[in-house]
Amino acid sequence: MMMTTATIKKVVSCQWSVVSWRKANKGQRTKDKGQKGMSLIAVMAVMTLFAIALLAVAPAVQLSVQREKELEAIRRGEEVAGAIRQYIEFYRGTKLPDSMDDLLEGLPQGTKKRQILRPSAAVDPLSEDGKWRLIKPTGQAFINFGKRVQTYNNGILPSSPSAIFDRFALPLVNIINSQSDSEIKEADEEEIEDSTDNTPFIGIASQSRNTSIIAYYGIENHSKWIFTPLFRGAGTSVINPRVGTPNRGERPNQNSQEQRNTLPRNTRP
């Protein structure tokens, strides 16, 4: 069958339309790919800027988290110190607690027990296992802490909260007064030997040996913060704006406009 001229023109026209559509569609696809490529580059740029911003604020966030943990450790430690004081006063100084369970069980009150310590305070937020170190009244850590408090309080060793505690404090006074700062530094490693269970204790400390952000009695190391009813001066706990900078023995300036946090130290739990 012979194709007419009109039919041939129609076929050619249709083919040309198909070619034109393909060319147009190809251009559109190329344009779409280009737009997608630009969008991907923009997303990657935003993600890069976000990552840089995170890296910039990460140290500040880490310091803030660490500061809150230290403040919580001090709050819990002070609560344990208050429980130790109640325990010793209840037994008129004839008995010390042997474990945290002694404090958690409370004190006899008629047919019941009087709670003197919350379970949350029995957990050290700075140590991995949550256990406090139990500080013996004759341990090197306790003696060194007393010396540091004396230095912080301008050479004055705070008196005992009551006469009941004199039997634990008086034997240490001569030792503390005879120790120099160099002897305290040499005995630093001996301070970590205290047990975490089953030993008569008059205070607690963290197992963490990290440098602290907050200075507690001028002390900037977690393991050397001892929470005890003894040696409680009228100083303050001050946030150290320069981590790692010694400020041992400094007295906080109450009129200073620096950004710092103070915790009352002359109030007993």
Give the start-to-end residue ranges of the domains of the chain: 58-264
Rounded mean pLDDT, 41-46 = 75
Element (H, E) at 263: strand 262-264
Both tokens assigned to 134: 């139990």
Among candidates 225, 185, 191, 228, which has minimal Cα distance to 206?
225
Q: Edge-to-edge, what's the strand order for the sheet holding 133-135?
A: 133-135, 203-205, 226-227
pLDDT in tens, 241-269: 344 333 433 333 333 333 333 343 433 33
Scanning 108-216, the segments in alpha helix (DSSP H) are 140-152, 166-178, 181-186
Return the minimum-mean-pLDDT range out of 35-49, 80-94, 176-190, 210-224: 176-190
φ, ψ of residue 224 to 5 degrees: the values are -100, 0
Q: Give Cα separations from 147 to 75, 84, 134 (angstroms).
A: 22, 21, 19
User: 99-154, pLDDT tens digit by residue?
Assistant: 999 999 999 998 899 999 999 999 999 999 999 999 998 888 888 898 888 888 88
Question: DSSP character for 218?
Answer: T
**Number of residues that make up the chain:** 269
Question: How many whole angstroms from its chain centre is CA 13?
Answer: 80
CA distances from 19 to 9, 11, 15, 27, 36 (A): 15, 12, 6, 12, 26
Q: Residue 102: which H helix or E strand, with range?
A: helix 100-105
Judged against a pLDDT cut of 90, whether residue 52 lies above it is answered with no
- Higher-pLDDT residue of 22 and 210 is 210
At residue 13 the predicted structure's pLDDT band, cuts being 50, 70 and 90, is low
Higher pLDDT, 183 or 123: 123
Closest alpha carbon to 94 in 167, 201, 194 = 167
